[in-house]
Structure 1
Amino acid sequence: MTKEDDVLSFSAEAVQAADGAAAMMAAPKTQATSEGILAAVLSSLGDDKAEDIVQIDLRGKTAMGDHMVICSGRSSRQVAAISEKLVERLKATFGISTRIEGKDTGDWVLIDTGDVIVHVFRPEVREFYQLEKMWQPSAAAAN
């Protein structure tokens, strides 16, 4: 075997090892159920100091998702950071890609995972739109 053969065989082994490592890193660690995603969302929001976190059960009310989570960040920068970290954590944990809108302005960011819809607001914007009132059960709205 020549020196060139050693280099080529080593390169092929390195490529196989790298491919195997990449496949292991890309594989989701946890099965993506709506309850699992909801738990991960709530954990991430708590870790990043989101405020006034409200979760709303949408099952039986709409086909757009099973859960909605609404929370606030203290500033546009925090709203964008909370949203960005949430998307990263969901991808790392479940291997799912989410749709995200509004991160550039940081006033209201919408993150759609399919089963869980997350709204992250600045407090003033959240007060203006009052999404919780729209989705809360009517008995709670009457009080």
Structure 2
Amino acid sequence: MTATTTSSQPLTVLLVEDDDIDAMAVTRMFRKVPGEIPITVQRAVNGADGLAQLRQLVSDRAGPLMVLLDINMPLLNGHEFLSAVRADKALESTIVFILTTSIDPKDVENAYRSHVAGYLPKTANPKAGAKVGQLLREYADAVLFPMPRAIQ
């Protein structure tokens, strides 16, 4: 993958989240927090669907991508999703953040061993949720994202 040099290029956030309320909260969070680059949120309701959508986005060369991933999901959990992403040459440099209710130290350690960009706890506290949204927005505005390359 090659780095993008245009900070104004739209960013696709693939939200891999099985809970409808949490998915609405994340989508709302990105709408509320202003930033330099446009962000489109695309949702997958389980890890298997998320992996298929990520492969399609990379195949379509959809531009810069970031994944927000829940750990506890049906069909393919977050750890299994991460293993599949990191094992695939076309996907391995995808930026992934964990956004989950799990505070289990084993989940945290396993996520960082899979090279996540960050492990963020979900919260019902609106102020804490706003901080997470601000952090993700600032990250999206500040970094150069790897650009998808053709799937071989």
> When the two structures are superposed, what TM-score results if normalisation uses the length of structure 1?
0.31
Which one has a bigger Cα radius of gyration? 1
Question: Greater helix percent: which structure?
Answer: 1
> When the two structures are superposed, what TM-score results if normalisation uses the length of structure 2?
0.29
